[in-house]
Amino acid sequence: MNIFRILVYISIIYFLIINITYITLNLIAFFSLKKEKVKYEITDLKKVFQSEFYKPLSIIVPAYNEELTITESINSMLSLEYPEFEVVVVNDGSKDATLERLKEEFDLVKSSRTYKGQLETEKIKGVYDSLDYPNLVVVDKENGGKADSLNAGINVAYFPLVCNIDADSLIESEALLRLVEPFVEDRRVVAAGGTIRIANDCQVENGEITQVNLAKSWLARFQIIEYLRAFLFGRVGWAAIEGLLIISGAFGIFRKRHLVSVGGYSKDTIGEDMELVLKLNRMLKAEGREYRTVFLPDPVCWTQVPESLKTLGRQRRRWQQGLGQSLLMNKELLFNRKYGAVGMLAYPFFLFGEFFGPVIELLGYISIIITIILGIASLELVLAFFTVSILLRILLSTISVLFEEISFRKYDKLKDNLKLFLTAVLESFGYQQFHTFWRLQGIYDLLKKRHIWGEQDRKEFNK
């Protein structure tokens, strides 16, 4: 059999496994969501947290060049509904006016706070308290990257639970109550993640999303579909079978003692959020502990996403490189039965499906074109390739949009939902191929040991 036909068959099998896996996860997630929805309706969160069983919380906000959104984001966090919490903003050597904006908005003064340097970080130049908000602390440090900033925040944080939130994000008012609830109910819970949604073109007042609008940019809309697949249903599905590997660095809660025990966030990878969860699995299994990592779809963090191909491309190649680094640093998990679904299902899927997937996709695209040009591709082969690479992906994306409409209805306008369904169809024609190319660049960066961070183009929230 011609080598190109063999490669087409391999890519067909790959696309089939990937899409069927995610469709299955979507179905698992849907029924899991229905069960959770009943629980949400009968639980009075405020009453639960009025008891003595609530756990105080430190919110860590790493900030680098965030002058356009930092005050809106911090105001949003300070207004969250939670019995006892502090906000620890870590200015990571910003080159813009991030620190000045914080000083001006929150009336900062030098702090007398003491802390232990349990995790090694770049030098802390100063710690500030707010005269207006007793639960706001600002740390000014030399630049060391996001992982270093998070570790500095962990050092300074006072409370037993630590919540990490990106500086360009807005949190719904009850999000902390919902995300901490598993820690109150189950002592085995060591980490919990919430959903990330896209705030581009949404209306914001006093740090809160007052009107959810569909992004005007097609590029942002494509990312809405991605986030629905990955966060709302993919991660809910993995969590339901106890195979969750990622808790987003943009919105997750951990027990501080575990973060310190595992050495904090690794500075050897740009995928520090995934690597942290992987090594937590390794550490807790080695200690023989019973533990759970959970994902909740209802606590929502709203964030801005790139609206230019250049910025988005840098982000996605960075994510792919970080994925490879994280998997490599925790390779003992692969097909290791003692780690359960994490070792036997999730890790192999992310290694062979997500990391090596772009290589198989590229070979498939090239091979199907060559077989058509050479006249050795049968109609059945072409149809099979088109079905698994395009139609199944469209089915997966439209299922995600449908389940979003049934479960949460964040987009309540009919025209917005119709546009989302159209976006779910169009995503496979062009955008998906760009995405494959960016991920291939990320693999190349990993092999060449290149570290390309880049900066996201920020803009102020709509008011």
- The DSSP symbol for 462 reads B
- DSSP lists the bridge partners of residue 292 as 189
Taking a C-beta distance cutoff of 8 angstroms, is the pair 130, 107 a contact?
A: yes
| SS3 of residue 247 by DSSP | coil
Q: Are 246 and 274 in contact (CB under 8 A)?
A: yes
Share of the chain above pLDDT 70, in %: 93
Q: Which two tokens stand for residue 338?
A: 């003692």
Quick one: pLDDT at residue 408?
A: 85
Confidence (pLDDT) at 49? 57
Written as one letter, the residue type at 460 is: E
Amino acid (1-letter code) at residue 302: W
User: Which is nearest to 183 in space by CA: 300, 55, 75?
Assistant: 55
In whole angstroms, give the CA distance from residue 212 to residue 413. 10
Render the burial of 94-104: b for 16+ CB within 10 Å, e for the rest.
beeebbebbbe
Angle at 214 between CA 208 and CA 220, to 5 degrees: 100
Strands (E), 202-342: 203-205, 208-211, 251-255, 292-303
Q: Convert the pLDDT of each residue in 116-159 to its tens digit.
A: 889 999 999 999 999 999 999 999 999 999 999 999 999 999 99
With tokens 């080598």, the residue in question is 3
| Domain ranges across the chain | 1-43+160-463
Q: Closest Cα to residue 180, out of 260, 93, 296, 92?
A: 296
| Amino acid code (one letter) for 125 | K
Which stretches of the chain score pLDDT less than 70?
Answer: 1, 37-53, 452-460, 462-463
Concatenated DSSP letters for 41-65?
A: HH--HHHHTTSTT---EEEEEEESS
